[in-house]
């Protein structure tokens, strides 16, 4: 046999004859280069990562639970950093989908979070109203306050709807249930888009109806809220908003008021803006809280709410 085709184990130097006895492994120090080892060396010094399935040295793996359950699996350092977090209480690693933000960069696992009364009693700026978005009851609740989608019109930033038109809608003079084909498609795509977002950020979120504690007329039907309230996301599935956001790298100005309204209701410091269309790259932006804008927004929304009350009498 030509010596140029001979393959040797990188650990013991034994010549490798059979393909099934050759194990590709990643090598130290940066694990960017692969080498081949024999059957015996592989089982003595290497392991397959349960997540990425690549082979690494034994001192390069960590134990982690399987999908937040009691069973354990073993993952490499790279998968550990990308897919898991360390609980600040029990100091064990868990899937990022089940992390609860405690404060700053501190996160707790499901078990520690549910067992610690101080975490569960954490105050929020809002209450969660048990309603399903799109139902008759939800529409009634919405009509009794000002929602996030109302904010751009109130602030004069909605190019398709004026504040006067919105006032007539709120006072019963217009049909607020109208949906065109693009709106219907966006609503249909939202569950798929939410799963895409969860996969991207590693956090589970659910639709929620929120009502501000201090200003009970200020409400928001959010597309996704983390279980611990630490993350909120606004999802858009329209062609126009996708094209505009992906091209400019910024949120369209006519959605800015909607996002700041949600931040006003929740008290959070930022909101995720997620544009999704099947077959295209997702557009994910983080929009920070704008306290000066929120002050103007609250003043404008309160005056608008007084107009609604007056016109309904």
Domain boundaries, the chain: 1-48, 63-122, 126-312
Given pLDDT bands bounded at 50, 70 and 90, which one contains residue 19? Answer: low
Distance CA 211, CA 144 (A): 11
Give the CATH architecture of domain 126-312: Alpha-Beta Complex (3.90)
pLDDT of residue 149: 96
pLDDT of residue 187: 82
pLDDT of residue 191: 95
Least confident of 123-132, 263-272, 297-306: 123-132
Tens digit of pLDDT for each residue in 45-60?
Answer: 888 888 888 888 887 7
Tens digit of pLDDT for each residue in 92-117?
Answer: 888 777 777 666 567 788 778 777 65
Tens digit of pLDDT for each residue in 177-209?
Answer: 556 677 778 788 999 999 999 999 989 999 999
Average pLDDT taken over every residue of the chain: 85
pLDDT of residue 3: 47
3-state secondary structure the chain: CCHHHCEECCCCCCEECCHHHCEEEECCCCCCCEEEECHHHHHHHEEECCCCCCEEEHHHEEEEECCCCCCEEEEEHHHHHHHEEECCCCCCEEEHHHCEEEECCEEECHHHHHHCHHHHCCCCCEEEECCCCCCHHHHHHHHCCECHHHHHHHCCCCCCCCHHHHHHHHCCCCCCCCCCHHHHHHHHHHHHHHHHHHHHHCCCEEEEEEEECCCCCEEEEEEEEECCCCCEEEEECCHHHHHHHHHHCCCCHHHHHHHHHHHHHHCCCEEEEEECCCCCCCEEEEEECCHHHHHHHHHHHHHHHHHHHHHHC
Mean pLDDT value across residues 234-257? 96
**Residue 178, both tokens:** 């109208």
Tens digit of pLDDT for each residue in 249-294?
Answer: 999 999 999 999 999 999 999 999 999 999 999 999 999 999 999 9
pLDDT of residue 118: 60
pLDDT value at 159 more than 90: yes
Q: What is the share, in percent, of the chain residues with pLDDT greater than 90?
A: 50
């Amino acid at each position: 046999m030509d010596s140029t085709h001979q393959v040797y184990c990188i650990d013991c130097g034994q010549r490798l004859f059979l393909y099934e006895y050759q194990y590709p492994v990643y090598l130290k120090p940066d694990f960017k280069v692969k080498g081949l080892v024999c059957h015996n060396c592989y089982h003595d010094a290497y392991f397959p990562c349960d997540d990425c399935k690549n082979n690494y040295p034994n001192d390069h793996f960590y134990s982690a639970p399987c999908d937040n359950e009691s069973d354990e699996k073993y993952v490499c350092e790279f998968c550990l950093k990308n897919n898991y977090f360390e609980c600040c209480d029990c100091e064990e690693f868990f899937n990022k989908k089940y992390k609860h933000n405690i404060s700053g960069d501190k996160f707790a696992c499901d078990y520690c979070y549910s067992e610690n009364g101080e975490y569960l009693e954490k105050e929020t700026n809002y209450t969660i109203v048990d309603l399903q978005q799109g139902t008759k009851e939800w529409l009634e609740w919405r009509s009794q306050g000002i929602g996030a989608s109302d904010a751009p019109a109130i602030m004069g930033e909605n190019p398709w709807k004026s504040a006067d038109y919105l006032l007539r809608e709120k006072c019963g003079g217009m049909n607020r249930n109208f949906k065109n084909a693009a709106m219907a498609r966006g609503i249909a795509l939202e569950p798929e888009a939410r799963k895409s977002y969860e996969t991207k950020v590693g956090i589970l979120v659910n639709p929620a109806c929120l009502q501000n504690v201090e200003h009970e007329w200020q409400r928001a039907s959010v597309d996704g809220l983390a279980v611990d309230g630490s993350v909120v996301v606004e999802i858009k599935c329209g062609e126009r908003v996708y094209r505009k956001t992906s091209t400019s790298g910024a949120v369209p100005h006519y959605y800015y008021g909607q996002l700041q309204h949600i931040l006003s209701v929740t008290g959070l410091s930022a909101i995720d803006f997620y544009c999704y269309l099947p077959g295209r790259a997702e557009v994910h932006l983080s929009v920070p809280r704008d306290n000066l804008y929120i002050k103007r927004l609250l003043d404008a929304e309160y005056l608008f709410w007084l107009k609604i009350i007056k016109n309904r009498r």
